[in-house]
Amino acid sequence: MSRFLRRFSKAGHLALILLDHIVKLGECVERKVVLELPISDEGLLPAFVQDCLDAKVDLISVYGPDAARIEDAIDWIVIGLTSDKSRWPVTASHSEPDWTRDEVIEYASGWNTPTPSGLTILRL
């Protein structure tokens, strides 16, 4: 179980959903992640990003209000955590009315990763 999921699942701040089915926290972290907004506490972002780097996540797709700002924050956190560009995930932001939740899930699900991967949808 990653440090992030262990720490914040105990605090009760994180709901992890895999294709709309709740899974046990720490059971899986796929290579494609959809982060649903709003975030309960933006202070959770650095630990979330570190765990994404540790899990070799290829795509972090941010969905919801203020998605572009949160995506930028994630990008800056990644840059601060590692200068190794090979470890940097692709980030994308999606907001209504341009994108629906289902369209974001379809987009992220169809993302090609070097290793076959499912999709993790989560909220902080």
User: Mean per-residue pLDDT for 47-72?
Assistant: 94
| CA nearest to 42, candidates 13, 18, 20, 9 | 13
In eight-state DSSP terms, residue 88 is P
pLDDT at 21 over 80: no
**pTM for this predicted structure:** 0.77
Categorize the per-residue pLDDT at 24 as very low, low, confident or very high, splitting at 50, 70 and 90. Answer: very low
